[in-house]
Amino acid sequence: MARKSRKNVMLQENTAIPDKEKKVLFKAGLYARLSHEKEENIERGTIETQMELMKNYVKDHEDIVIEEEYYDASFTGTNFERPDFKRMLEDAKTGRINCIIVKDLSRLGRNYVEMGNYIERVFPFLNVRFIAVTDDFDSFRPGTDLMMPLKNIVNEFYAKDISKKVSTAHRRKWTTDEYMCGFAPYGYLKSKTEKNRIVVDEATAGNVRLIYKLFLEGKGYTSIAKYLNEQGIMSPLMYLKSLGYQQNVKTNGVWTKTTVKSILTNQAYIGSAVHGKVVIEKYNNIPLHATDPSEWVIVENTHEPLVDKETFEKAQERVKEISDAYFAKEFTKHPPNEKNLLKGKIVCGDCGKGMRLSPRTTKSYVYFCGTFSDGINPACSRHKIDQEDVNKAVFAQISNHMRCCIDALRVIRELNARSSGMKKYDVYEKAITRQRRELEKVNRKFSELYGDYSEHLINESEYLTLKQQYLLKSEALKKEIDNLLVSQNLYSKNYKIDEDWENLINKYLKCRKLNKELADAFVDKVQVFEGGRISVNLVYDDCLEELLQVKNKREGDLNE
């Protein structure tokens, strides 16, 4: 017996749907990508060329309309962490688009494994059609996936080959007398007549020589930085900005001890070029990283020196003396495990700079503002505070946080164990069961829908309308069930909170003082303000706030 048509089930009036609209099956996202393999690429123009080709393709296909355009300029194809690619995926997940179009497969990416995962798993799972125009690939056309693995391998090989060739070319140039760096070091300018050459900048070269002179006379890094600022000498960054570079950098741009030390240790000032301090090997999937000095490539006499080698060597000897003295003091008198438990988390509440830890005696430390320590910003004060006082305040905050969580959980679970709480829980359980049954019905009708269409029991327009209605109904039911589950949990005898949060509390509840593990687990940021006021932000503060709101609600229910 032939099945009856379900075309009237959930089908609303569709007589007003225009013929042209009935043919539209796919809302497309056009995706273009441009890597930075070639400097001569004009990025925007190349992106537009890709977009134009895809738009022309859509014009010839009445079943596709353009919903959104996405593009990533200057992003390599071997990495899928691209902003607009991720935005496109989110739109595919939410159903805003159900078709992705690219110029060719390489525009999606050049990593064979990830490409295959997206094309063979992710896109089909999201019910997204994928089209590569010039490769004549259409995931909805049978047989088009046969050449996919081969094309992906070729693209990945091409990307690695290009990366390796570029890296090899750079290393070859390192061995020449050319100066292959982005910016000329402070005291030099890029030559206007010769490529990859630097020349002495008479406006700043004297400042470099002055720094070496003051250092060898006995002044320290901070004292030199302070002196240069008092003399009104522009820092390297501000000097670059005055020349029209680094305009997007927002900083006070003053001399710091770090800047001074970098000049005192830079071999560029004796006429040498140093390459390979940091490297990246994309073809081997090795990210940007600092290298050991033994791996550096040093080429001498690439440009005119600003100081002689004897002066430079004397400066290095004093740099080493200062460094050795510091580490001897810090690591002999003060063991590392007694040092900064809040490193990277404690900042000045007034200027935002990280607080630095300094030994006060052989057994105690003090924090002080990092900006003040550089001696460069009179607008910010020392903010001196004992490390012990900070640690006690942070530990008190964490302890109070854990106690509040445990107490709130106990109250909520006790209230939920009462008959009134259990009745409320059962009411939600029945509502969830009803909605789940309704969801099963909708999903069953949805799964049968294509069969009706293939057997010509319903036409294309009816199929599309019903499909959209079932999808919307299914999503609405899932959302309603999720909301009911959340509400039901409020009345559960075993009320649940974030699992990671609860595990951490159970793990550290018996701690009696702050340690590195506890700080790393709970502390988000500590701010120290003028006058010694301390503000502590914990990672799970928002979770505790929600928990206390639930506790107050349940106590309010009891009083109604």
Task: Kindly state whether residue 14 falls inside one of the protein's structural domains.
Answer: no
Token digits of residue 248: 């997007």
pLDDT at residue 208, as a whole number: 92
Indicate if 239 and 387 belong to the same structural domain.
no
Number of H helices, E strands in the chain: 19, 17
Indicate if 394 and 509 belong to the same structural domain.
yes
CA distance 143 to 138: 9
Task: Kindly state whether residue 272 falls inside one of the protein's structural domains.
Answer: yes
Q: Which of 134-148, 152-166, 305-319 has the lowest mean pLDDT?
A: 152-166
Q: Is the pLDDT score of 220 beyond 50?
A: yes
Indicate if 370 and 503 belong to the same structural domain.
yes
CA distance 524 to 405: 18
Task: Kindly state whether residue 237 falls inside one of the protein's structural domains.
Answer: yes
Task: Kindly state whether residue 327 falls inside one of the protein's structural domains.
Answer: no
- How high does pLDDT run on average in the chain? 79
Q: Scan for tokens 């490193």, then name that residue.
A: 343
Indicate if 228 and 287 belong to the same structural domain.
yes
Q: Is the pLDDT score of 180 beyond 90?
A: no
Task: Kindly state whether residue 235 falls inside one of the protein's structural domains.
Answer: yes
What are the CA-CA distances from residue 246 to residues 182, 236, 384 (Å)?
A: 12, 11, 34
pTM: 0.42
Q: How confident is the model at residue 523 (pLDDT cuts 50, 70, 90)?
A: very high
Indicate if 48 and 70 belong to the same structural domain.
yes
Task: Kindly state whether residue 43 falls inside one of the protein's structural domains.
Answer: yes
Q: Which of 261, 291, 319 is the last residue of a domain?
A: 319
The β-bridge partners of 66 are 28
pLDDT at residue 194, as a whole number: 80
Q: Does an H or E element contain 473, and which?
A: helix 460-489
Indicate if 393 and 536 belong to the same structural domain.
yes
- Please give the average per-residue pLDDT across 341-352, as a whole number: 88
CA distance 182 to 275: 12
The β-bridge partners of 199 are 189
Give the domain range for residue 355: 334-417+493-560
Backbone φ and ψ of 536, nearest 5° = -120, 120
- Considering only residues 371 and 282, tell me which one the structure prediction assigns the higher pLDDT: 371
Q: Which of 183-187, 300-304, 336-340 has the lowest mean pLDDT?
A: 336-340
Q: Which of 85, 40, 74, 33 is nearest to 54 (CA)?
A: 33
Number of structural domains the chain divides into: 4
Indicate if 477 and 426 belong to the same structural domain.
yes
pLDDT at residue 2, as a whole number: 40
Q: Which of 459, 490, 521 is the last residue of a domain?
A: 490
Strands (E), 17-176: 26-34, 64-73, 99-102, 129-132, 137-138
Question: DSSP for 186-212?
Answer: TTEEE-SSSTT-EEE-HHHHHHHHHHH
Q: How confident is the model at residue 185 (pLDDT cuts 50, 70, 90)?
A: confident
Task: Find out whether 199 and 185 touch, Cβ atoms under 8 Å.
Answer: no
Q: How confident is the model at residue 353 (pLDDT cuts 50, 70, 90)?
A: confident
Indicate if 112 and 194 belong to the same structural domain.
no
Q: Which of 286, 319, 352 is the last residue of a domain?
A: 319
CATH at residue 246: 3.90.1750.20
Q: How confident is the model at residue 484 (pLDDT cuts 50, 70, 90)?
A: confident
Task: Kindly state whether residue 13 falls inside one of the protein's structural domains.
Answer: no
User: What pairing do the DSSP bridges indicate for beta strands 346-348 and 523-528?
Assistant: parallel
Task: Count Cβ atoms within 10 A of the Cβ of residue 303 and give its class: 0-12 exposed, 13-18 middle, 19 or more buried.
Answer: buried
Q: How confident is the model at residue 287 (pLDDT cuts 50, 70, 90)?
A: low
The β-bridge partners of 65 are 27
Token digits of residue 237: 């960054």
Indicate if 465 and 532 belong to the same structural domain.
no
CA distance 220 to 325: 13
pLDDT at residue 427, as a whole number: 84
Q: Per mean pLDDT, which of 152-161, 166-175, 550-559 is the most reliable?
A: 550-559
User: What pairing do the DSSP bridges indicate for beta strands 278-281 and 99-102?
Assistant: unpaired
Q: How confident is the model at residue 166 (pLDDT cuts 50, 70, 90)?
A: low
Residue 28 CB coordination number (10 Å): 25
Indicate if 131 and 213 belong to the same structural domain.
no
CA distance 222 to 208: 15
Task: Kindly state whether residue 4 falls inside one of the protein's structural domains.
Answer: no
CA angle 468, 472, 473 (to 5 degrees): 115
Token digits of residue 254: 């003053």
CA dihedral 245, 248, 249, 251 (to 10 degrees): 110
The 10 Å CB-count burial string (b at 16+, else e) for 365-404 is bbbbbbbbbbbbbeebbebebebeebbebbbebbbebbee
pLDDT at residue 158, as a whole number: 60
Task: Find out whether 107 and 32 touch, Cβ atoms under 8 Å.
Answer: yes
DSSP 410: H
pLDDT at residue 16, as a whole number: 39
pLDDT at residue 38, as a whole number: 45
Indicate if 261 and 351 belong to the same structural domain.
no
CATH at residue 34: 3.40.50.1390
Indicate if 341 and 432 belong to the same structural domain.
no
